[in-house]
Amino acid sequence: MRTYLARKATIYALTFFVAVTLNWLIPRLMPGDPVQRMISRAGVQHPESIGPLVEYYENIFGLDLPVWQQYLNYWGSLLSGDLGVSIWLFPSPVEDVIARAVPFTLALMLPAILLSWVAGNWMGALAARRKWLDNTVLPASYLLTATPYMWLAILLVWGLGVVAGWFPVAGGYDFGLRPTMTWSFFLDLLHHWFLPFLSLFLVSLGGWAIGMRNLIIYELESDYANYLSALGAPQRLIRRYAFRNGLLPQITGLALQLGTVIGGALVTEVVFAYPGLGYLILQAVQNADYFLLQGALLFVVVGVLVANFVIDLVYVVVDPRTRTGLQGATA
Amino acid sequence: MTVPGPSPTTAPEEPPLPTVVDGPADTPVRPPARRNELLYFALRNPKVVGAMVVIVGLAVLGIVGPMLADHGPNEYAGPTMQPPSAEFWFGTTMFGQDVWVQFVAGLRSTFLVGILGSVVAGAVGMTVGFVAGFRGGWVDELLNMLTNVVLVIPGFVVLIVINMYLGVRSVPMQALYIGLFSWPWVARAVRAQTLSLRAREFVDLARLSGVPTRTIIVREVAPNMYSYLFMTFVLLFGGAILTAASLDFIGLGPTNAVSLGLMMNQAVQWSALHLGMWWWFIPPGLGITLLVGALYIMNVGLDEVFNPKLREM
Amino acid sequence: MSLRVDDLAVHYRTTRGDVKALDGVTFEIADGEIMGVAGESGCGKTTLGKALIRLEHRMKHVRGTVTLDGRTLPIADDHAMNAYRYDKVSLIPQYAMSAMNPTRKIGRMIRELVTSRGVAYESVQPELERRLRLVGLDEGVLARYPIELSGGMKQRVVMVLATLLDPSLLIGDEVTSALDVTSQKAVARALVEFRDREFVRSVVVVTHDISVLYQMADTILVMYAGRLAEKASATTVIDRPLHPYTKMLVGALPKVGERYDHARLSGIVGRPPSLLDPPTGCRFRERCPLAMAKCQEQPEFREVAPGHQVACWAVA
């Protein structure tokens, strides 16, 4: 088990290293003077800030320093928590801008991922039981999983928001309200949260259902399932074993799907103008706020790494094969 | 969301593809008879046939549609904000552009990005997977590290950063970028398959006779995996389309070409949702859903064709 | 107890038609008898073994009856058979090494299994531990996962598990095929001991390895192409076989001490017939050195000497 976790930790450390390096490297691949380009492309609101900005960036980029020193400086500022200053929202530091957006994204993603995983697995298991269930659940799941995240979001906005008027279609909370710790504000938050959550939930659901259904069918054909049947064990017991064994690859699947779901959350937020990280990224792109974008990227990378590690820990707990010192099924 | 893959088997090794197709595992490859047999079953499988009809239909639309149009997708062809009519099958946009023409042009670039993206990802993933599985040792370890790193990095966000700085001017470039981030699961799956095939006698024989690695992979190992590789490409195709659509939707796609994602982007930006211009945003998303859905279902059907065990159920 | 099988026929459904894997077999096993079923791959012996406990979903029961202790087994009815499984009829499968759920501790799995069959685990636990010790295992294995045991250990655990409820009939499907010779001996001995201690009443041992049967079986049933060829005591089948197929089968066995210069192994030329569309009459006649015109008619499986049955026209 220790080797398994150590291995994973190494990969994550390496990934972080690569991500940071990429982050540092990519802007320098732009032709011409990066600072001038950034400033000229940026949606700078206050002309008087250009001067200090140029100075600031040249400092940060350290273009007069040798490359390796620039690189080390970058690491230095990163590790001290300094992600730079936002161009678009000058002079707010990037960390603050991101910190405001993160809770919204987490509130959207975490329930959507977890609930769709649970519900999808349950649906998939159900589908594997009866032919008629299989024939309805499966095509529906394929359709859902083939749906682009933003299109379902669009449909929900239009259908339930504009046409039916049941839900608001933009923002995290009503524009007229100010954030307060009151019950009514919380309800308003929920009201705005529901459609984006539903959108993410539905699209992700399909994939889990299909995966679990396939896994259960596979488990039901396994030797141990056959043997239990030969010994007259009730289907109930066999199905329970099959389900539990099928969950294992689904846990690993969670980690693998993170990238996709993040992309999905991003575009969903864009459709709903939901003030999370995704919407922030879009605005950073539109306003050419490079620092904000890079800060957001790093943040997402760290989040993904942490999530991966948590999932690995859960997997170790849940699959006895990893604990006996042998390689787990998906190590 | 686990990507639907070939039928359930080696669930442990490749989560996105819960299974491994049992190719011509025990019998040596008898080319003519086998191929005809596969074709026979493929043409009789309702999923494969149905899906092919949809895919080919959309492809034809994408190829022929723009050619038959009298105006370009971005031209101002008629009155603005018109619902579908006999003249404008899919109505017009906020600016009077023909949505139908945009749609078929978008289909074209969608197919293009799908094919190119899947080819790039497939080529990289299969090369990495074959070499890692076949060579083993430190080569395997190294490639595994690489695969794992690329796997964990949230590719979509990195794509955004890349597109921001370096810009994407054309569909092939976009496909290249997408391909470079979608290959890890392919590498893993191919590696697992290669590992199991490597232990076979006919491969040992080839090695003993001094045939170079590259040749062994191409001539001995790969042919036993053709069906699996084909299905991998289908999945990559679908995945590339979805990724490209998302990138286009955020406005980071090639701006010189019309794409379905871009259509949705413009629809949302210009308040089509609030104005109820459903003809502008429903067709592009529907097109993608149908195409990708057909691809996935075709994959399921192909799995039944290639895997006799499923066929006889 | 006794087992009586009457004209049992079980076919496999395939897209190309029915494979007549088991095409009308009749025999009896006495109480406490260990009967081996031998034959080439595809002769129907595994189908026979399976049919006695659980028909897989592509198998169909065409005709015939199986009677155990005077009661007819409802082999065609999967649900009704459940009452008999494990309790009256049990199985040591060919895949014993992977027969246990890899993510459950062995003890827990056994507990859940017997509980689901309406037996209190506490009531069988002492006996379970006793039998584990008998086969040379420590009761600590109950706290381990299958992956922590060696192949031989898993085999033994499955043996104990299969016989835990003292079934009347135990079917062993190729139980020695995946083992080395020493382990084979151990397993064969254990089976005989189980029978001697009345953990099981009668045993059917299905295997292609006739020499193992010689070591452990009381009687041997030789099958060919879905039909019975010969049945007699083990010594008779090995030393004084009557059916030409059995003779050639035994003749193909290497004997200890025999050397290549002195005597060559004789194989049997040709291959068994396709069971999709089997030939009429005796199915062995294509490869039989004694084939005559009469062989176009299916020979009866009848007793030619006390306790010795053969299906061959060439045997008086």
Pairing of the two strands C227-233 and C219-224: antiparallel
CATH of the domain at C66: 3.40.50.300
Query: Contact C244/C289 with Cβ under 8 angstroms?
Result: yes
How far is C-alpha B20 from the geometric centre of its chain's CA atoms? Answer: 18
Structure tokens of A310? Answer: 């948590």
Q: Which residues of B22-48 are buried (b: 16+ CB within 10 A; e: fewer)?
A: bbbeeeeeeeeeeeeeeeebbeebebb
- Bridge-partner residues for B98, per DSSP? B92
The label of the residue with tokens 């307060």 reads A180
User: pTM of the prediction?
Assistant: 0.85
Tell me which residue in B8, B148, B243 faces A217 most closely, judged by beta carbons: B8
Q: Is residue C256 part of a domain?
A: no
- Output the pLDDT for position C55: 92
pLDDT computed for residue C201 by the predictor: 94
Q: Confidence class of residue A32 from pLDDT cuts 50, 70 and 90?
A: low
Reply yes or no on whether the pLDDT at C27 is more than 50.
Answer: yes
**What six digits make up the tokens of B254?**
């090639």
Cis preceding-peptide flag for A91 (omega within 30 of 0)? yes
pLDDT digits (tens, 9 = 90+) for C102-111: 999 999 999 9
Structural domain range at position C176: 3-94+168-246+300-310
Q: Is A80 helix (H, G, I), strand (E, B) or coil?
A: coil
pLDDT of residue B309: 67
Question: Which residues are bridge partners to C59 per DSSP?
Answer: C12
Tokens representing residue C249 in the block: 């089968």
Q: Is residue C278 situated within a structural domain?
A: no
The answer on pLDDT for C118 being more than 70 is yes
Q: What is the pLDDT at residue A193?
A: 92
pLDDT band at A57 (very low <50, low <70, confident <90, very high): low
Structure confidence at residue A329 as a pLDDT band (50, 70, 90): very low
Is C142 part of any domain? no
CA distance C75 to C84: 10
Instruction: Sort out which chain B residues have CB atoms less than 8 A from C59's CB and list them.
Output: none
The pLDDT tens digits of the residues spanning A73-86 come to 778 878 877 777 77
Handedness of CA B181, B185, B190, B192 (dihedral sign): positive
pLDDT of residue A46: 64
Determine contact: A241 vs chain C, CB below 8 A. yes
Output C160 or B20, whichever has higher pLDDT. C160
Residue A55: CB atoms within 10 Å:
11
Residue range B243-288, pLDDT digits in tens:
999 999 988 888 778 999 999 999 998 888 888 889 999 999 999 9
> Which residues are within 8 A (CB) of C237 and not within 5 positions of it... i.e. 6 or more apart?
C210, C219, C220, C222, C230, C246, C250
- Domains by residue range for chain B, with CATH: 53-312 (1.10.3720.10)
Per-position DSSP letters for chain B, written without gaps between them: -PPP-SSSS-TTT-TTS------S-SSPP-HHHHHHHHHHHHHH-HHHHHHHHHHHHHHHHHHHHHHH-SS-TTS--S-TTPPP-SSSTT-B-TTS-BHHHHHHHHHHHHHHHHHHHHHHHHHHHHHHHHHHHHH-HHHHHHHHHHHHHHHHS-HHHHHHHHHHHH---SHHHHHHHHHHHH-HHHHHHHHHHHHHHHTSHHHHHHHHTT--HHHHIIIIIGGGGHHHHHHHHHHHHHHHHHHHHHHHHHT-S-SSS--HHHHHHHHHHTTHHHHT-HHHHHHHHHHHHHHHHHHHHHHHHHHHHH-HHHHT-
Say how far apart CA B130 and CA B192 lie, in whole Å. 9
CA separation for the pair C6, C22 (Å, rounded): 12
Tell me whether residue C77 is in a domain: yes
Which pair of tokens denotes residue C101?
A: 């759920």
Beta bridge partners of C85: C89
- Using the predicted structure, report yes or no on whether residue C142 has a pLDDT greater than 90: yes
| C149 within domain boundaries | no
Q: Which residue has the higher pLDDT, A183 or A331?
A: A183
Residue A55 has pLDDT above 80, yes or no: no
Residues 6 or more apart whose Cβ sits within 8 Å of residue B205: none
Least confident of A2-6, A313-317, B157-161, B274-278: A2-6
pLDDT value of position B184: 93
DSSP character for A85? B
Identify from C89, C103, C154, C175 which residue to disrupt to test chain A contact, counting A C-beta atoms within 10 A and taking the largest count. Answer: C103
Q: Answer whether C99 sits within 8 Å of A224, measured CB to CB.
A: yes
Token look-up 């054909």 returns A221
B65 alpha carbon, distance to own chain's centre: 22
A277 closest CA partner among A303, A309, A305: A303
Taking Cα atoms as reference points, which of C299, C307, C305, C306 lies closest to residue C244? C299
**Summary mean pLDDT of chain A:** 84
Using CA atoms, how far apart are residues B49 and B39, in angstroms rounded to an integer?
Answer: 11
The per-residue pLDDT for B23 is: 38
**Residue C90 clears pLDDT 90, i.e. is over it:** yes
For residue C57, give the chain B residue with the closest CA.
B313
Asked if residue C85 has pLDDT above 80, the reply is: yes
Q: How far apart are CA A156 and CA A175, in angstroms?
A: 21
Residues of B in contact with A218 (CB under 8 A): 7-9, 11, 18-19
Of C83, C117, C147, the CB nearest to A324: C147
Confidence of residue A63 (pLDDT cuts 50, 70, 90): low
Q: How confident is the model at residue C34 (pLDDT cuts 50, 70, 90)?
A: very high
Range from A23-27, B185-189, C207-211, C280-284 carrying the lowest mean pLDDT: A23-27
Closest Cα to residue B293, out of C68, A145, A138, C221? A145
Cβ atoms of C222 and C245 within 8 Å: the answer is: yes
C40 falls within a domain:
yes
- Chain C interface test: which of B41, B45, B312 (most C C-beta within 10 Å): B312
Task: Give the position of tokens 């001490």.
Answer: C257
Question: What's the confidence (pLDDT) of residue C65?
Answer: 94
Neighbors of chain C with 3 or more C-beta pairs under 8 Å: A, B
Higher-scoring residue by pLDDT: B50, A174: B50
From the candidates A220, A222, A227, which should be mutated to test the interface with C, based on the most C CB atoms within 10 A? A227
Judging by DSSP bridges, how do beta strands C308-310 and C302-305 pair with one another?
antiparallel
Q: Of residues C146 and A49, which shows the higher confidence score?
A: C146
pLDDT tens for A131-168 read: 888 888 888 999 999 999 999 999 999 989 888 888 88
**Of A191-195, A214-218, B285-289, C273-277, the least confident:** C273-277
DSSP C96-147: GGG-S-TTS-HHHHHHHHHHHTT--HHHHHHHHHHHHHHTT--GGGGGS-GG
Q: Which domains does chain A have, with CATH numbers?
A: 104-286 (1.10.3720)
Q: Looking at this protein, which amino acid is placed at residue B243? A: T
Instruction: Find residues 252-311 of chain B whose CB sits inside 8 Å of chain C.
Output: 311
For residue C14, which residues of chain B lie inside 8 Å, CB to CB?
A: 312
What is the per-residue pLDDT for C86?
95
Residue C234 has pLDDT above 90, yes or no: yes
Q: Is C217 exposed, middle or buried (CB count within 10 Å of its CB: 0-12, 13-18, 19+)? A: buried
The per-residue pLDDT for A220 is 92
Q: Does C60 touch chain B (CB under 8 A)?
A: no
Structural domain contains residue C289: no
Residue of chain A minimizing CA distance to B292: A146
Tell me if C230 is assigned to some domain: yes
- Contact C117/A233, CB-based, under 8 Å? yes
Please list the ranges in chain B whose pLDDT falls under 50: 1-32, 313
ipTM value for the complex: 0.91
Nearest to A267 among B238, B250, B273 (CB): B250
Cα A149 to Cα A106, A124, A219, B43, B172: the distances in Å are 17, 21, 31, 33, 23
pLDDT value of position B24 = 37
pLDDT of res. B17 = 38
The pLDDT of residue C199 is 93
Q: Which residue has the higher pLDDT, A291 or B301?
A: B301
Which residue from C279, C284, C278, C276 is spatially nearest to C301, judged by alpha carbons? C284
Nearest CA in chain A to C56: A226
Could you give the number of structural domains in chain C?
1
